[in-house]
Amino acid sequence: MERFDVLIVGAGAVGCAAARELSRYRLRIGVLEKEYDVAAGTSGRNSAVVHAGFNNAPGSLMAQLCVEGSRGFGALCRELDVPLVRTGKVLVSFSDGDTETLRGLIARGERNGCEGLRLLDADELRALVPGIGGIAGMLSPRTSVFDPFLYAVALAENAAANGAAFFFGAEVLSLRRENGLFTAETPRGDFSAPVLVNAAGLASARIAAMAGAGGYRIYPCRGEYLIFEGGADLPAVPVYPAPRKGIGGLGVHLTPTTEGDVLVGPSAEYLDDPEDTGSTAAVQARLADEAVRLLPALAGRRPIASFCGIRAKQAPPGEGGFRDFVIRSEEAVPGLIDLIGIESPGLTASAPIARRVAGLVGRLIPLTEDPYFDPIHRFPPRFRELDDETRARLIAEDPAWGEIVCRCRLVTRREIADALNNPLGVRTLTALKYRTRAATGRCQSGYCLARIADVWRQELGLQPEELTLRGPGSELFAAPDRSPAL
Ligand SMILES: Cc1cc2nc3c(=O)[nH]c(=O)nc-3n(C[C@H](O)[C@H](O)[C@H](O)COP(=O)(O)OP(=O)(O)OC[C@H]3O[C@@H](n4cnc5c(N)ncnc54)[C@H](O)[C@@H]3O)c2cc1C
């Protein structure tokens, strides 16, 4: 049995942010994650937008924490070396009713503390986003896009560098509380602590119930996306339709990524199965139609990939909209801190949520600042972002910098090798994709997979058949027949 001061269930952005925030203090922190990397759930499957905070009800936790998160996000990404681009965001009106909705959003945003929101006439709208449909628009100048994978990885690696321990493949199967200690049973053994932070996303109601706090319910709501390769005719600014009531999301939007692709989505569809991350032909066709309505230039373009993310909604089907985040120290179960219904803008709000968690932990156990806490995190260099001089110097030092493994994203053998030796010890193809962006471009691994397997074999001395997509059960290569020839 491993003993900690605080156990965190779930290594999504929220669990990782909580681990990093708590690592400022002299605490033994353990993070239990059922999958084989961070951001394997909703945190790796979303629009990756730092929202400004005008969508949420004034006075709600969602509004407060979104605005607080948005204000601090740039500084946080600089500390953690996470790509962030301040693109601004445009909302498009197709009718007078939509324009009225946009006026209402500006008023709401101003009450929430958002700065610089304003209406755009049709000319201003098309100057900002050439080729866009619609009759008017709204500008949110502070909205940004960022890399959600590297965000979670950086939070976790920084927490680990400051002493937090991460356990992957450690699904919490049961919880019991005896003599003021929670004990979590996992396939990797038992873990115990007096404080348990439930950051299990879609499973948060189940974990709360296991710990003795019933009464929560999460309604999974799937959002599908298409990914288009970026181009000069695609927007460099996120473009959203004016929101419609009761859809449970923000509507199908076009969102540039920090890699230069454009996401189209998400849909909103309530499901029974929180793990059903499949894409469907019918929804993809609808997404393509809605995207063309926003940007006619997309007509006839083919996406390079699709994916989906699942919202952890507290609002049941039919109700639509958003219910507020629950961030609560459970009086009935002392030591249990529940984070329930952390849907959008949960990424934007993740650092403020983590600070609230630390505040709640401080009421349960004494917190002493760790004078050795180091907030700075750095990733290995990204070859495609370097100037020619730096590239030449690195190649002269180590020829692995000069061998391109992924042509679509210009990723070198050195970067793949560094990513395989990442500080969290995570070794799946998805972990490499998150960390280097290899295999995420137009060829979707057709060119680079065999080369990645070769680096894997040489760096780690492992066989290709041991390389998995996301952990055991998702092996990418069949083992050769090694039985003796007859
Ligand atoms: C379609 C979509 C678009 C979105 N767009 C945005 C956006 O643009 N901006 C924004 O700010 N937010 C956005 N969000 C919301 C944001 O993605 C979430 O709020 C955020 O990722 C929630 O993080 P989390 O850590 O709470 O949950 P998750 O990332 O789901 O993490 C929970 C973790 O718990 C683990 N877990 C579950 N059960 C167990 C168990 N029994 N034992 C151990 N581990 C367990 C899971 O494997 C998972 O890794 C979007 C969400 C969706 C679905």
Q: Is the pLDDT of residue 243 over 60?
A: yes
Domain with 269 in it: 84-144+219-313
pLDDT at 207: 98
pLDDT at 249: 62
Residue 73: helix, strand or coil by DSSP? helix
For 346-369, write each residue's pLDDT tens digit. Answer: 999 999 999 999 999 999 999 999
Residues 116 and 247 in one domain: yes
Residues 340 and 422 in one domain: no
Domain end residue (candidates: 291, 313, 335): 313
pLDDT at 486: 66
Residues 371 and 395 in one domain: no
Q: Is residue 418 part of a domain?
A: yes
Q: Which of 43, 250, 307 to mutate to test the pocket of ligand 1 (most atoms within 8 A of CB)?
A: 43
pLDDT at 484: 73
Identify the CATH number of the domain in which residue 397 sits: 1.10.10
Q: Is residue 474 part of a domain?
A: no
Residues 254 and 346 in one domain: no
How many domains are there within the chain?
A: 3
The first and second tokens of residue 271, run together, are: 């499901």
> How many whole angstroms from 178 Cα to the centroid of ligand 1?
30
Please, what is the average pLDDT of the chain?
A: 94
Residues 213 and 224 in one domain: no
345's CB contacts (< 8 A; 6+ apart) are: 51, 53, 55, 56, 62, 65, 66, 69
Beta strands in 314-369 (DSSP E): 326-329, 336-340
181 residue type, one letter: L
Q: What angle do CA 225, 294, 134 make, to 5 degrees?
A: 155
> For ligand 1, what atom is nearest to the CA of residue 312?
53
Distance from C-alpha of 402 to C-alpha of 33, rounded to nearest angstrom: 36
Identify the CATH number of the domain in which residue 351 sits: 3.50.50.60
For 203-217, write each residue's pLDDT tens digit. Answer: 999 999 999 998 999
Q: Which of 333, 324, 332, 325 is nearest to 357 (CA)?
A: 325
In this structure, which residue's CA is closest to atom 3 in ligand 1? Answer: 46
Distance from C-alpha of 215 to C-alpha of 341, rounded to nearest angstrom: 13
Q: Is residue 481 part of a domain?
A: no
Distance from C-alpha of 328 to C-alpha of 437, rounded to nearest angstrom: 36
Give residues (CB < 6 A) around ligand 1: 9-15, 32-35, 40-43, 46-49, 51, 171-172, 199-203, 207, 223, 266, 309-311, 342-348
Q: Which of 11, 23, 324 is nearest to 152 (CA)?
A: 11
Residues 76 and 157 in one domain: yes
DSSP label at 113?
T
Q: Is residue 480 part of a domain?
A: no
For 324-343, write each residue's pLDDT tens digit. Answer: 999 999 999 999 999 999 99
Q: Is residue 429 part of a domain?
A: yes
Residue 25: helix, strand or coil by DSSP? strand
Residues 30 and 94 in one domain: no
Domain end residue (candidates: 292, 313, 334): 313
Q: Is residue 471 part of a domain?
A: no
Distance from C-alpha of 400 to C-alpha of 394, rounded to nearest angstrom: 9
> How many whole angstroms from 13 Cα to the centroid of ligand 1?
7
Percent of the chain with pLDDT strictly greater than 70: 98
Residues 90 and 166 in one domain: no
pLDDT at 321: 84
Residues 173 and 65 in one domain: yes
Residues 176 and 232 in one domain: no
104 residue type, one letter: G
Kindly state the average pLDDT of the residues 82-90: 97
Residues 301 and 240 in one domain: yes
Residues 60 and 161 in one domain: yes
Distance from C-alpha of 26 to C-alpha of 373, rounded to nearest angstrom: 9
Identify the CATH number of the domain in which residue 124 sits: 3.30.9.10
Distance from C-alpha of 119 to C-alpha of 337, rounded to nearest angstrom: 41
- φ, ψ for residue 220, nearest 5 deg: -65, 135
Does residue 345 have a cis peptide bond before it, meaning omega lies within 30 degrees of 0? yes
For 130-147, write each residue's pLDDT tens digit. Answer: 888 899 999 999 999 999
The confidence band for 291, taking pLDDT boundaries of 50, 70 and 90, is: confident
For 447-460, write each residue's pLDDT tens digit. Answer: 899 999 999 999 99
> How many whole angstroms from 201 Cα to the centroid of ligand 1?
5
